[in-house]
Amino acid sequence: MTDFSKQLSKYMPATAAPIISAWINDSGCKFRISRSRRTKLGDYTAPFRGETHKISVNHDLNPYAFLITTVHEFAHLKTWQQHQRKVKPHGIEWKNNYKVLMAPFIQAEIFPADILQAITNYMENPAASSCTDLNLQRILMNHDSKKGEVITVESIPEDSLFRLKDGRVFKKMEKLRKRYKCLEVTSNRYYLFHPIAEIFPIEQEPKPIFKRLIP
């Protein structure tokens, strides 16, 4: 049995690492620290053709977000062990397992007070991703080690231009339910953005003001 606590402590609170290490050993899953992925924080892959369980979590999450995402994926693993493909991925079975697996970390007071309150509220009815809980996600972002102010889609005015890390430029449009409709300037295609997606605003030249000359 391999103790992964030392390696895991680089990405999550040290007191949580031994528990996750035990889960990895007990399940025999391949646990991978992944590159940053814009569309997801973590991923679970069920056994297929003799393969074992696989879990990956983005390397650039802060320790608390990394732990929450890790527990999320292990809840998928446990649900598959119990039901395989007979239940919905984020159905009541997964929600119950998520609550059970998260309980030791909540009881051990691993999270700071603000995250503890937010995760406790979130666990009353967990969603497919913790990112869908804006309150929890905003509080987790407060614990990021990024320097400088983080600017999000929801914080800029409608019709503003912004760019992503990959250089693509968008124009913010109206809000549709929980996400913002944005127009990619180059392709003229529309995309939906999470309210707290990190972006880089582009300053626009003010429109000239024309005054009628009175003779």
Task: Kindly state whether residue 89 falls inside one of the protein's structural domains.
Answer: yes
Task: Please identify, among 141, 161, 177, the residue that sits at the C-terminal boundary of a domain.
Answer: 141
Q: Give the CA count within 13 Å in the CB-facing half-sphere of 122.
A: 27
Question: What are the C-alpha distances in Å from 179 to residues 164, 175, 176, 195?
Answer: 17, 6, 5, 6
pLDDT, tens digit, for every residue of 4-35? 999 999 999 999 999 999 999 999 999 999 99
Query: Distance between CA 197 and CA 69 in Å, rounded?
Result: 17
Task: Kindly state whether residue 148 falls inside one of the protein's structural domains.
Answer: no
Q: Write down the pLDDT at residue 210.
A: 59
Position with higher pLDDT, 150 vs 93: 93
Task: Kindly state whether residue 147 falls inside one of the protein's structural domains.
Answer: no
Tell me: do 136 and 162 sit in the same domain.
Answer: no
Task: Please identify, among 96, 115, 141, the residue that sits at the C-terminal boundary of a domain.
Answer: 141
Segment 161-168 shows an average pLDDT of 91
Question: What are the C-alpha distances in Å from 211 to residues 207, 208, 214?
Answer: 13, 10, 9
Tell me: do 130 and 195 sit in the same domain.
Answer: no
Tell me: do 168 and 134 sit in the same domain.
Answer: no
Tell me: do 134 and 177 sit in the same domain.
Answer: no
- Per the DSSP assignment, residues forming a β-bridge with 58 are 34
Residue 146's pLDDT band (cuts 50, 70, 90): low
Task: Kindly state whether residue 26 falls inside one of the protein's structural domains.
Answer: yes
Tell me: do 18 and 114 sit in the same domain.
Answer: yes
Q: Write down the pLDDT at residue 67.
A: 97
Task: Kindly state whether residue 208 falls inside one of the protein's structural domains.
Answer: no
Query: Distance between CA 156 and CA 158 in Å, rounded?
Result: 7
Tell me: do 114 and 38 sit in the same domain.
Answer: yes
Task: Please identify, among 141, 164, 185, the residue that sits at the C-terminal boundary of a domain.
Answer: 141
Task: Kindly state whether residue 34 falls inside one of the protein's structural domains.
Answer: yes
Q: Write down the pLDDT at residue 49.
A: 81
Task: Kindly state whether residue 209 falls inside one of the protein's structural domains.
Answer: no
Residue 132's pLDDT band (cuts 50, 70, 90): low
Tell me: do 33 and 126 sit in the same domain.
Answer: yes
| Domains in the chain, number | 2
Tell me: do 68 and 101 sit in the same domain.
Answer: yes
Q: Write down the pLDDT at residue 212.
A: 60
In the 8-state DSSP scheme, what is residue 163? E
Tell me: do 87 and 23 sit in the same domain.
Answer: yes
pLDDT beyond 90 at 134: no
Q: Which structural domain range is residue 112 located in?
A: 5-141
pLDDT, tens digit, for every residue of 33-67? 999 877 788 999 999 888 899 999 999 999 999 99
pLDDT, tens digit, for every residue of 186-215? 999 999 988 888 889 998 766 665 556 555
Tell me: do 184 and 129 sit in the same domain.
Answer: no
Task: Kindly state whether residue 215 falls inside one of the protein's structural domains.
Answer: no
Q: Write down the pLDDT at residue 27.
A: 95
Q: Write down the pLDDT at residue 177.
A: 82
Segment 107-128 shows an average pLDDT of 88
Helix 63-83 with 134-141: angle, nearest 10 deg:
140
pLDDT beyond 90 at 97: yes
Which pTM value belongs to this model? 0.77
Tell me: do 69 and 15 sit in the same domain.
Answer: yes
pLDDT, tens digit, for every residue of 66-93? 999 999 999 999 999 999 989 998 999 9
Query: Distance between CA 151 and CA 38 in Å, rounded?
Result: 16
Tell me: do 17 and 102 sit in the same domain.
Answer: yes
